[in-house]
Amino acid sequence: MSSTVTTRFAPSPTGTLHVGNIRTALHNWLLAKQAGGRFLLRIDDTDVARSREEHVTAIRADLAWLGLHPEREERQSARFDIYEAAFHKLIAARRLYRCYESAQELDLKRKVLLGRGLPPIYDRSALALTEADHAAKAAAGEHPHWRFLLDRDAPITWVDGIRGSQHFDPAQMSDPVVRRADGSWLYMLPSVIDDIEMDVTDVLRGEDHVSNTATQVQMFTALDAPVPRFAHEALLTGAEGKLSKRLGSLGVTEMCANGIEPEALIALLARLGTSDPVDPALDAESLAARFDLTRFGRAPARFDDAELARVNAAVIHKLPYARAADRLPEGMGEAAWEVIRPNLNTVTEAAAWWRVVTGPVEAPEFDAETRAFLDQAAGVAAALDWAEDPWGALTAALKDSTGRKGKALFMPLRQALTGMDHGPDMKALLPLIGKDEAVRRLG
Ligand code: GLU
């Protein structure tokens, strides 16, 4: 096994990525970055019938949006020759054997075993077939499917990067089918062949793959390859603690539509499943430096939209102008961005605040006394040197001349100038509104 840490994200392009897959991709990227290693994208499209090119395109686009750039991309559908060679090697080593049972027959066998209180393990009856039996099947037009022969005398163990010490008894496992009668591959063996050939050192994936790993550990050995490090992450659940349907479809498209920044999603997912606080970092490299698999627990990790929204706001409050510029309204420059940014939950909301700057704004109806105060304010504003701190100068002068202070001083001014009761810091906002417009709004 190569010494360069190499991870891979291996989605099947049978759908778009959901937040669970995105977390797996991110964690593989972080693991590789942290070690100065390589992160690969492997499109698992051996299932030609269910794989769609549009999903491959969407997966690439999603990773690009997240900034998770793979060093190399591979597709299983382009690697059938490699699988064929390994297949023959395993046949020669007597680790693969031909079977003919139909799905119904297998189902019946399982039911009989379960009915007798036994584990539903394949009985290996096909191992007893002779070459003459196979020839007779072939003559009758029957094609075999192939199973991998587990070594029942070799206990399966590995130290999982998240789950710790793992033990499986191969005598309690069925020999897995690796290739169907029509010649097509199941996921299990091609994945091992690829992990070997691509020098993958670390396989990090969901805990739904733990039992596959048990089988795959023996496949690595059967192919004379070292077994990579494995780690299996607890699955994601919704905020209500249940596996939710919604999470299974929540992906980059919906996140984008909701104004979620990739940095926010990355910051949250980098820590989701640990008890460490989320760090709304703008650069994923800094998250990589502190990424630690041992911090991840075995309990399901809760994904909470409200938490994502909070992280998103925290990210936006630090987001440099350059990362928002092409989504801001015409004319809104860096100074305005910095004034408005602390008020935003999403970048889109900047437009409404920019309208407060450019006007027109609709102020509430004021009582006569407040109206008189505002007229006075307009006069003071018109006479001010606008270059310095007009808000400081305006409020100081009005405080002196009217005796108003606190809310009675500030609120009518804010309302007249912005049409709102809250919003960006007036000291920063007023210079953006400009003198003439401010005088007009006050008067
Ligand atoms: N294509 C498999 C999946 O999406 C890959 C599993 C793995 O990482 O090996 O579940």
Could you read off the pLDDT of 176-230 as tens digits, one per residue?
Answer: 999 999 999 999 999 999 999 999 999 999 999 999 999 999 999 999 999 999 9
- CA 167 to ligand 1 center in whole angstroms: 21
- CA 49 to ligand 1 center in whole angstroms: 17
pLDDT at 246 over 80: no
- CA 10 to ligand 1 center in whole angstroms: 5
Ligand 1, atom 5: nearest CA belongs to which residue? 10
Q: Which of 223, 139, 230, 208 lies closest to 178, judged by CA?
A: 223
Q: What is the pLDDT of residue 387?
A: 87
Pocket lined around ligand 1, Cβ cut-off 6 Å = 10-12, 44, 187, 191, 205, 209
Q: Which of 293, 282, 172 lies closest to 231, judged by CA?
A: 293
- CA 187 to ligand 1 center in whole angstroms: 8
Q: Amino acid letter at 123? A: D
Mutate to test the pocket of ligand 1, among 9, 42, 44, 55 (most ligand atoms within 8 A of CB): 44
pLDDT at 42 over 90: yes
Decide: helix, strand or coil at residue 22: helix
Q: Would the CA dihedral through 302, 305, 310, 316 be positive or negative? A: positive
Q: What is the pLDDT of residue 247?
A: 79
Q: Which atom of ligand 1 is nearest to the CA of 9?
A: 8
Percent of the chain with pLDDT strictly greater than 70: 99
Classify domain 368-442 by CATH number.
1.10.10.350
202's enclosing H/E stretch is strand 202-206
Dihedral (Cα; 275, 280, 281, 286), 10-degree rounding: 0
CATH topology of domain 82-179: Glutamyl-tRNA Synthetase; domain 3 (3.90.800)
Per-domain residue ranges for the chain?
A: 1-74+234-318, 82-179, 328-354, 368-442
CA distance between the termini of the chain: 77
Q: Does domain 1-74+234-318 have CATH number 3.30.70.141?
A: no
